[in-house]
Structure 1
Amino acid sequence: MIQWFQDAIKDSWVFKGFMILMVASFGIWGIGDVITPGVDPNVAIQGGRFEVSATELQRQYALQIDRLRESLGAESADDASMKKMVLDNTVQDLKQTAITNMAALELGIIVTPERVRDNIMAQSAFHDETGKFSALRFAEVLNQNQLTEQMFTKLVEDDLRQRLFLGPVGDNAAAPTALIDSLFSYRSETRVADTLLVPAQAMVVADKPTDEQLKKTYDENVGTFTSPEYRTISLAILARANLVTPESIDDEAVRKFYDENITSYRTPETRKISQLIFEMKEQAEAARALMAPGDDLAKIAAKAKIKAPIDLGERALTDPVIVSFGDAVKLPVGEVSQPVSTDLGWHLVLSSSILPERTTPFEELRLQIRKSMADDKSNDALYGASEKLEDEIAAGTPLEDAAKNSGGIYVSIPSIDRRGVNAGGMMEMNIGLGTLKQSTVLKVAFETPVGTESKLLDFEDGFYVLKIDAATPPTPKPIETVRTEVEKLWLNTQKILAAKGVAEKIAADLAPSASLTSVADKDKRLSYAKLGPLTRFGESLTRDYVVDSKRVGPEMLTKLFSAKVSDNFVTSVQGGYVIARVKDIIPPAKTEGDMAKSYTDLAQSTRNAIAQDLVRQFSTALFDRYPVQINAKVISDIGGVAQ
């Protein structure tokens, strides 16, 4: 991410989606691409002089989907509603970028190519182990993120322009001290209470439940004693790996493929190249004149007192960067070139090593080629098999026969619930699915009407059709079969009620001067502990106090922060009840220790929130002044309709 985003407006709603990770390279710096970007006729968003191509929209959309897959998993990221939301957000972000750029240009805000270059060279994402810019690292990251030089430099230029335009809107935002103090007091006030825990499990219930009591408990909690819906599922699965296997490709075909594509297995000669860059030829000549026999570029740079050489890494002679140096890169290893001119200045170039051309032997590639050929054939086979399967199903062929006739496999899954568990509590979803995920099958299975087949659905390795053969609706279990569980529930309920009764009686009899520790001493079912200091969110603000979770809950915190000092109250907690007496209310000290830092952080976050709100309102106002056209067809083709 561009550093300015991190430091100035890293949480701004306006800027979310403007940029992806700033990763790419200029080779050695192709400033020509910054000045004369290409034009894509397939425009998705058009606004004045700014447009977003369908390719760029597709790339950014795909990038966001990939990030979702990494964070939420493939199933969530591939959900249709999630994809539409991501596409809508991507369109809105790019639309905002176009609008901001139009407004900035109207004010005469220009970003020069030199500023773009300097910004990128300063980014740590592109630095090597020595902390210096690495063209090789830059190129690698560019490739990893599917960015061209032109695309990346445009992103950087847009970012810098937006900084200059939108930054001042929020730079002078201020948060009133009264607001910060109120927020700080609310968040950081702590309270201390003496507490008595009345655990339900310590209560003794002597009575046995009657049949009527059990029936009432059963009826009031019938959902607890209801079997889930069960469905019997069958699947026809077409998997690439089953349609064409590597073993089905003979050695003769593999060898023929290798011979026909021999050039793709040939690695051209590469040279490890480094360079020194100068603004003028005279500077390059003066530096080279300092060279002694055996000196490399590092020694020349040291003598000339200039920046260390730039390592361009291993490069083929056909590499555009190398071509720009002409014959200078063809000199013997270790020989420093004469000054050579490019669009970026004057260079001294040196090759420190040469890796000769090499052709990978057939035996090293045999298995790889065989698998690749099988994969290619399986794609064609998969298409034909999927058409065959759909035709078979349309003709009324039973799913098992349709699967076999199409070259697929048939899987039958007995009665299971939404978790993939049968009535006996055993998993039934771990057989025969291959790479088809259990969660995907279960989701489709419980969305498909009983007695029908799903449409042809795709997964990572192919296609499948699912049929719901039968279903058993959720059914309450007979009380006779769950009597033991009902008795346990009744008993637990009675213990909780007993704990409540004990707590309320103690609280009613508790004199203002009575000590809670003395009460605990008289009744061994109770336990005393001091609670706090803790915040209204149930947190401790000091390292030496750990909150007792058995004595804290939502109701407890609400009552604790509503009461006054010396007030007694009774509250439910997990597993029982608590009797509490407020002992102390501690206002936060905003100038002491960790609290001082918390206050400073809150003040900064509040100021940032106000700044972001100002930027958001300002940006929203730009929508009316700078209209933008959205190509609905392009967006629909990509994967949904964005409004």
Structure 2
Amino acid sequence: MATSAAKKVSTLFVWILLGLLFVALAGFGIGSFSGGASQVGAVGNAQITAEDYFRALNNEINAQSAQSGQAVSFAQIRARGIDEQVLAGLTARAALSHEAAEMGISVGDGEVARQISQIQAFQNTSGQFDRNSYEFVLQQQGSTPREFEEDTREDVARALLQTAVIGGLTPPEIFAEILTAYQSETRDFTRLAVTERDLPEPIADPTDAQLEAYYDEFPERFTRPEARRITYAWLIPSAIMDDVEINEDALQELYDERIDEYVQPERRLLERLVFGSDEAAEEALAAIAADETDFDTLVEERDLTLADVDMGEVAPDDLSDAAAEIIFGDDENEILGPVPTPLGPAIFRVNAVLEASEVPFEDAREDLSAELAQEGARRAIDDMREEIDDLLASGATLEELGEDTAMVLGTLDYTTASEEGIAAYDNFRDAAAAVEESDFPELLDLSDGGLFALRLDEIVPPALPPLEEIEQEVANAWQATALREAVADRASQLVAQLAQGATLDDLGDTAEERLIRRQDLLPDLPATTVAQVFQLDAPGDVVMIPGAEAAHIVRLDAINSGIRDGEDTSVLLTIMNQTIAQSMATDIFEAYGQALQADAGISMNQGVINSVHASFP
């Protein structure tokens, strides 16, 4: 646990390779790097060839391309520093190979053959090792059986060395127990909120001098961020819906198509339990009537769940005529039957009755008209697309689109916080963030069927508006700050009263929080509340926690130790043990690898490295 979580992530790429028994099969079909015998570097007596480095880079490119779903170039890999990580991984492997050789660790041909025979790429359809497949795959990879078998031998030797270093590593049990006790501890506390209505006097409006002083003291609060000044032209269906003519026959036709939505018969929420015979169903009904059992018990005795017998919402047409007559003809009983069904005689339980409903055409007319108008507006916009596209292609400006078409012209100082008007559309936001000043406007789609085109006019640097332009904004900020300070001062005064013998209940209405864990978030309290409660030493301790609109006086009532034998605690203890063991193994193996590299010595040939890089397009 000596290293941070961030460092774990960065080093894991290098060292996890050392803990896995793997073979270099990724990247099948890649041709050999020219000059494969060239040496990129070495650790002691273990070489890192240009071929090794090329394949490792190519494998990483292929893996990231597969993960992202789009082609990843070598330039992108390099920009992220992944080439350095790949080379560091190869260096770490070479360090282990050098040490294994120095210690005389190796494996026999039998183990090498066993490892290779288990690789799926070398097996036939029956799962057996196939020599022809083996040689073909290696040929496609640009390798030979001898080279591959030696690589496998080295991989196994490295794995044996790793096992010798960190195998069986077990952290002290007390370590996990202490961390688990810390993590599972809970606390009880009582709190009192001090708000504006608890102040002796209301907060007065700020004077001009106070506003100016606040504005001068906190300019960063009012400075506008860098913005992208954009001119745009757009057209959305809602803007032309009123101009769309609605055909009366089309309205009626749409209503008729949706009749099942507007006219619904009586429905019932049913559960059905099927029996093998009428006699069995009758016996079950009689037992229910005599209070000897109930529907839930009958379901459970059949090894079923209520989900298995639930039919959901059922209309008369969903049942046979005989079943519908029995079920929908009885408005008094909850349990009905026996009822004939295609599966056999059944008893039904009625959980709810949904009354028949009907929405007349005239009541549905407004919604139907809006839907048809929206659809018609989308079609009209789609019909305009070609004309607008042609205008842009011929060099028309956005201003001319605003004059010659139905598109509406607008401007916007766009930032990531912009969300009104056209900035509410994700398509526009993406385009606004990506557009460059040299780009020509192009016609793009909006999610509701609308169209837009935009132009970046300039990048507006961060600026502080004059006070007179944002006076109300400054006044609101001053009021918020004054409120925060005033309630905090009042709460501090009340804490002083507690020190003189008053109780928290004497000061106002209190609320209790029980069994609060370190990781809990209390949405009605300041974000630091839980952390500050866990800094209190003993029951009775008090802390004042300021907030935006209220200050909170918190009294610690109890410190509750984690339940050692509880299910949650035992699970947490197991997780802690595993996490600590993995963290210790990573730290120890990382230190061991670094020591090996320092002792053996590392040499790199930057010319060969550059040559490998140059081989990528």
Normalized against structure 1, the TM-score is what? 0.50
Cα contact 2:193–2:552 (8 A) shared by 1: yes
Note the C-alpha offset of 1:617: 2.5
**Deviation by residue 1:215-256 (Cα, 9 ceiling, x = unmatched):** 12222332232233456799xxxxxxxxxxxxxxxxxxxxxx
- Structure 1 residues 553, 170: closer, same or farther in 2, change over 3 A? same
**Deviation by residue 1:349-380 (Cα, 9 ceiling, x = unmatched):** xxxxxxxxxxxxxxxxxxxxxxxxxxxxxxxx
Instruction: Provide the C-alpha distance between the structure 1 equivalents of 2:18 and 2:484, rounded to a whole number of angstroms.
Output: 55
Q: 1:189 aligns with which of 178, 182, 185?
A: 185
- Structure 1 residues 113, 552: closer, same or farther in 2, change over 3 A? farther
Match of 1:105, as an amino acid?
A
**Deviation by residue 1:149-201 (Cα, 9 ceiling, x = unmatched):** 86876665443221101211122434334544443343333322112234569
- Give the equivalent residue in structure 1 for 2:486: 498
Q: 1:222 aligns with which of 212, 219, 222?
A: 219
Note the C-alpha offset of 1:565: 1.2
Matched, 1:207 2:204: yes
Matched, 1:625 2:613: no
Q: 2:513 aligns with which of 511, 515, 530?
A: 530
Cα contact 2:166–2:585 (8 A) shared by 1: yes
Q: 1:548 aligns with which of 501, 515, 522?
A: 522
Note the C-alpha offset of 1:101: 0.8
Note the C-alpha offset of 1:579: 1.1
Instruction: Provide the C-alpha distance between the structure 1 equivalents of 2:23 and 2:225, rounded to a whole number of angstroms.
Output: 50
**Deviation by residue 1:120-161 (Cα, 9 ceiling, x = unmatched):** 66579999999x67989x99xx89x98978687666544322
Note the C-alpha offset of 1:637: 4.4
Instruction: Provide the C-alpha distance between the structure 1 equivalents of 2:193 and 2:513, rounded to a whole number of angstroms.
Output: 11
Match of 1:486, as an amino acid?
V
What does 1:133-172 correspond to in 2, within 5 Å? 156-172=152-168
**Deviation by residue 1:417-443 (Cα, 9 ceiling, x = unmatched):** 675979999699979x9xx9865667x
- Give the equivalent residue in structure 2 for 1:562: 536
Note the C-alpha offset of 1:211: 1.0
Note the C-alpha offset of 1:98: 1.0
Cα contact 2:97–2:154 (8 A) shared by 1: yes
Note the C-alpha offset of 1:95: 0.8
Q: Which moved more, 1:108-117 or 1:91-100?
A: 108-117
Instruction: Provide the C-alpha distance between the structure 1 equivalents of 2:111 and 2:514, rounded to a whole number of angstroms.
Output: 58
- Give the equivalent residue in structure 1 for 2:90: 94
**Deviation by residue 1:530-575 (Cα, 9 ceiling, x = unmatched):** 153312xx33xxxxxxx42332533651353233211111113465
Q: Which moved more, 1:68-77 or 1:186-195?
A: 68-77
- Give the equivalent residue in structure 1 for 2:586: 612
Cα contact 1:520–1:528 (8 A) shared by 2: no
Matched, 1:60 2:56: yes
RMSD: 5.3
Match of 1:169, as an amino acid?
V
Match of 1:15, as an amino acid?
W
- Give the equivalent residue in structure 2 for 1:16: 16
SS of equivalent residue, structure 1 residue 15: helix
Matched, 1:482 2:450: no
Normalized against structure 2, the TM-score is what? 0.51
**Deviation by residue 1:467-506 (Cα, 9 ceiling, x = unmatched):** x996654321111221221122122222222321332233
- Structure 1 residues 423, 18: closer, same or farther in 2, change over 3 A? same
Cα contact 1:232–1:470 (8 A) shared by 2: yes
Instruction: Provide the C-alpha distance between the structure 1 equivalents of 2:165 and 2:570, rounded to a whole number of angstroms.
Output: 28
Matched, 1:109 2:105: yes
Match of 1:577, as an amino acid?
A
- Structure 1 residues 419, 569: closer, same or farther in 2, change over 3 A? closer
What does 1:269-280 correspond to in 2, within 5 Å? none
- Give the equivalent residue in structure 2 for 1:317: none
Cα contact 2:21–2:155 (8 A) shared by 1: no
Task: State, as a whole percentage, how many aligned pairs show the same letter.
Answer: 21
Structure 2 residues not aligned, in runs of 5+: 1-10, 27-33, 232-409, 440-455
Instruction: Provide the C-alpha distance between the structure 2 equivalents of 1:75 and 1:199, rounded to a whole number of angstroms.
Output: 57
Instruction: Provide the C-alpha distance between the structure 1 equivalents of 2:492 and 2:513, rounded to a whole number of angstroms.
Output: 19
- Structure 1 residues 185, 162: closer, same or farther in 2, change over 3 A? same
Q: How many pairs are equivalent?
A: 399
Instruction: Provide the C-alpha distance between the structure 1 equivalents of 2:432 and 2:69, rounded to a whole number of angstroms.
Output: 14
SS of equivalent residue, structure 1 residue 569: strand
Instruction: Provide the C-alpha distance between the structure 2 equivalents of 1:17 and 1:87, rounded to a whole number of angstroms.
Output: 15
